[in-house]
Amino acid sequence: MQKRTLGSSGLEVSALGLGCMGMSFSYGPPKDKLEMIALIRTAVERGINFFDTAEVYGPYTNEELVGEALAPLRDQVIIATKFGFDTSVDPRAMKGVGPVLNSRPEHIREVAEASLRRLRTDVIDLFYQHRVDPHVPIEEVAGAVKELIKEGKVRHFGLSEAGVQTVRRAHAVQPVSAVQNEYSLWFRRPEEGLLRTLEELGIGLVPYSPLGKGFLTGAMNEKSTFDATDFRSSLPRFTPQALKANQALVDLLGRIATEKNSTPARVALAWLLAQKPWIVPIPGTTRLDRLEENIGAVEVELTSDDLGKIDTAAELIKVHGERYPEKLEQLTGR
């Protein structure tokens, strides 16, 4: 597995990470714990050393899973987790006011201490603010993480779904090593100023949902259905009408994949890897065959002509459906 460095922070990770959320939360019922532990450890064997979780996934159960899986391998891996939600409130509340945020400095410290215990470690490698809290100045958030870094409880500071000005203000207090935002061929908002800012400041980008929450793999179509426990059942982009309209993007990936003797998922990931050398996607999966398919993306070589062809074709495809319901979308880009 190739390695990449997230910006100028010196945080070196595998070119692909593994998003662990779906093993416990959001994509249907929790998966079998022993099977997921085996999958995480197989990922390490295959060269992945960058694992992503959060206290809110479950809540708590995903951190516990990742901690148990990686405890025997702790010196070989980089673990990222997140703070920023009030987990005393159901994190899946998507109606009414939506999820409740809490990034008060005292709460950040409480989350860090609890995450350290669940992850079975004495240091969090990368600690993200999960969503920007408009009620707490970002300078106070950065200052709280800075103290944790001084104490040796955290190594690197990250932000998730933050706007450009928030990134700049946080970085001025405590250098930001990575920003985690959704980014893929069917969600390209980071190209509207964020990528340029990250390059200027020397900050890495960690795209989540790099396969469009599974859509870009080509494994679903307009007839696909989602269990009520599957987050996608509430997303406008996963209605039958939107899935049908967006099929053109999967067809594009399929054509490139045929030329490369590859798969749509690998081409989608390879496209992301080709954008910048400091971009590290974290596709999630609960299946070994998908894990191995994703890892194969690092071997897919897209030439400048290939990239130009993809971009030209993608510009003609209008993506249908918002990515989140309004209340959740309001939590992003602040």
CA dist 319 and 14 (Å) reads 30
Q: What are 46's strand-pairing partners?
A: none
Q: Is 57 part of the annotated catalytic residue set?
A: yes
Chain length of the chain: 334
Among 72, 77, 53, 75, which Cα is nearest to 63's?
A: 53
Calculate the alpha carbon distances from 294 to 41, 85, 210, 284, 291 in Å: 16, 30, 11, 9, 5
Q: Is 13 left (phi over 0), alpha (psi -120 to 50) or beta?
A: beta
Q: What is residue 15's three-state secondary structure?
A: coil
Q: H or E stretch including 63?
A: helix 61-70
Q: Which of 27, 57, 128, 183 is catalytic?
A: 57
Structural contact between residues 264 and 257, judged by C-beta atoms closer than 8 angstroms:
yes
SS3 label, residue 87: coil
Cite the beta strand spans of 55-94 per DSSP E: 78-83
Give catalytic residues, as residue numbers: 57
